Amino acid sequence: MRLPLTLLAALVLAHGAHAQSTQTKTPPPKIEKKTGLVDVSNEYWPTPGAYPVPQVPYRHTLRSVSLDDLANRNILPLGVYNGTPQLNANKEWYEKNFYATLAAKKVWNPGTSPKTHEFQGPITWKYEPIPQLPPPPCNQPQPTGYDAEGCRYVNTLFKDVEAKDPARAQQLREQVRRGRDVWFKGTFGNQDEPYLHFARVAGGQDKIFYPWLDTRERKHRFTKYGLINDPDCTEGDASTNYWDKCPDPHSSGVLGYRKYYADPTKDEKTGKVVFDPKTSPYTKGELEKNLRYVVGHPCVQCHVGFDPTNPPKDPNKPRWENLSATIGNQHIVQPLMFFQGTDHDAVVRQVLKAGRPGTIDTSLVANDFQNNPGTQNNIMDFQNRRVFEHVMKDPVTGEIKKGLTQNVLKGGEDSVGDRLALIRVYVNIGMCTEECWTPNFPTPGKLFGERSKQSPFSIKQCAAECEPWNYADAKMHDLAAFLITGGPTYLGKSAEVDNTPGLKYVDLGKVPQGRKVFARECASCHSSKVAPENIRRDKAALERFYEGHVFGSEDFWQYEFTKEERESVKFVTQYMAKDKDGKLRPKQFAKDGVFGQDWLGNDEPVPFHEIGTNMCRALHDNHNEGHIWEEFSSETYKQRKSPGKVDVTLNQMVPGLGGMKIGEREIKGGPGYLRNISLLSVWATAPFLHNNAIGEMPVLKDGSPDVTVAGRVKAFEQAFEELMMSDDPKVKPSRPQKISKTDTDIWLALQEDQGGLIKLPVSKGTPIGKFTSSDPHRPVTQKCDDLVENKGHQFGVSLSKEDKHALREFLKLM
């Protein structure tokens, strides 16, 4: 029998719930000048120079765009933040130790350890770098296939600059290469988050281990888990302690997971070392106990995926040319990988299992108490994203002034420039968790008082108390330089594993008609050529506004128009022009080159009820004033006009009364919007919507995801068909409603850490949104009450069958 929630809350209060532990605040340390170099072992690379640099061209698109190019177009600088005092006082040191500070570890004070550290307890450690060697120049053979691929990548870029200034081209390539290395290798101490913070909801530190890292799992890591094997590695054995055998000593064998030696295990009574990770022989069960290595996670953990234009023959045996670092892994339930050691009926496992492949809840750790998984942003052609002017507060000086920003995250929440938006991601995946993050979380079990709600993360405090912030911050310009070189993955440039060309999957004769449908129905939201406000609801006017405009790649622009259109005098006169070399090209490319490419999104925030999708992601409020990410959103964001009101309902877990409306509340402080996203490479990134809920990922006979070109096209066509259907169950046919549910009975605690004396029985088949969208610190009502995940976006549903087909074929070229 379930107890009424009000009674449960009263019992929690009666028992005192959870003792409050406080974070010991120390004054900021004196900023001292750093000197010298971090020592790195000369034996770091087992086989230096073993990998020649490949010369094979890419099928997916790369962009020779530099930060200087963006600055010259007044797109940079973004934001008003100029670094912390610690960083600015030691820029030369961070530059010299770029590779030596890609990773870091805690050095615990005597008598303290991860086992003794309490939630929101005092800091009892300092940091040391985990040194890594820089790779040799790209005119030399490389120590790993990864490094050789990095050289292949950058050697493709800046050919135009090289023709005029070879030295400058080399500088630009080196910066991109360093940024790529940050993307693949930068962990900055975040290996501690799973063992300290995740363990709090997993049932203890002994539940945090990674069975898929066992080298005997390598042969089916992708088909079983969705994980991508490091192409450099091979299956190990007892001699490698059942880890993969890799030329990079920090590669775990799985891309996105870096391994570092664990601290020696000591006898609790005598203090003597009983297991030295560097020297002790293999011990049965050591993988489960994390005795030898701990695992950190760089950004590619979520963002590396198979290149849609060049898929692998065997997804368990990819080569570097089969991978894209920025498209995102559509085939994995990423956060679940951290909790494979938990019991099947653990709440955290049930919640994460319900997430759709290719999504991650960005509030998973900094909880906003509303169920809102979202896709990883597809990083393509960022040089053409719109830039907006916002009023911002400098987090170091407190000065308020205007600055430029892009709208990042699904609702445009990160709105203080690229530098802070990028570094916030590193915090979100575990950097400086205990020093800067958890002190600002509400204390589990607290219902009243200061510790019953979150408080703002302080960038200034974080940099003073957590040196890895500065390690990472010093590298964000290099990272940005890498990310802006990523371009689309065009179906027209793809080839199947048997070399079947991608254009085979497009009905090219329908594309011109589909282009007109897109101009009338979609481009007002999904084009970076922004239509005037007064014509956005006039479809005929929109079609005229976009006449002659190329939405897709210049390589395939002819397919967007009929032969009669292309050869007409009007078209040639108005929409074609000669470039500086005298070549006749579409005017937008003749004038601006890659900057003429349409980004296929205007990034403008739209009230959630106009889009009609599941509201919980739009109501994400961690960037509001007084909330955890306050310093990562602009003043303009916080002052956005309210998009309206939502119902206030009783907590869904209250028997008999859950979900009953008891009032309304106005949305304030910035939430309630979703930005109009880019449709670049939409053919390759189905399912659709912010949560991948429109469509399903096709699977092969063995149950593994189909990563072929044909599989991606099939996923796109099926998702498009569902997108073009009514979400009203009364209409036939209509979308089948999708609601993620538990697949077993569970016991749910009233605290977010699953602690406390009282557990609530939850039956198999319960929608997870009923309890993941309720705030345990405000337990009477739902934080967000919206369970159906694939509703909304009804634009185009009323189109004719012919127009829908034409639109689908047009979008395949984008």
To 10 degrees, what angle do helices 709-723 and 801-812 make? 140
Query: What local confidence, expressed as pLDDT, does residue 27 receive?
Result: 57
What is the C-alpha separation between 312 and 320, in angstroms, rounded? Answer: 10
Query: What local confidence, expressed as pLDDT, does residue 6 receive?
Result: 32
Angle at 155 between CA 149 and CA 160, to 5 degrees: 155
Helix (H, G, I), strand (E, B) or coil at 275: strand
Tokens of 738: 């999708």
Query: What local confidence, expressed as pLDDT, does residue 690 receive?
Result: 94
Helix (H, G, I), strand (E, B) or coil at 492: helix
Tokens of 188: 């900055």
Query: What local confidence, expressed as pLDDT, does residue 128 receive?
Result: 96
Residue with tokens 């990079």: 248
What is the C-alpha separation between 721 and 165, in angstroms, rounded? Answer: 50
On the CB side of 175, CA atoms within 13 Å amount to: 22
Query: What local confidence, expressed as pLDDT, does residue 5 receive?
Result: 32
Q: How far is CA 210 from CA 286, 293, 349, 365, in A?
A: 11, 11, 14, 19
On the CB side of 173, CA atoms within 13 Å amount to: 22
* Rounded average pLDDT per 10-residue block, the chain, 814 residues: 30 31 51 88 82 95 97 96 96 96 96 92 96 94 97 98 97 98 98 93 91 97 95 97 97 97 92 94 94 96 96 97 95 89 93 89 82 89 96 97 95 96 94 95 91 94 97 98 97 96 98 98 97 95 97 98 97 96 96 96 96 96 96 98 97 94 97 96 96 94 92 98 96 95 94 89 95 94 96 97 98 98
Q: Nearest to residue 326, comparing CAs of 377, 287, 263, 398?
A: 377
Instruction: Please state the length of the chain.
Output: 814
What is the C-alpha separation between 709 and 374, in angstroms, rounded? Answer: 24
Q: Nearest to residue 317, comparing CAs of 184, 222, 216?
A: 222
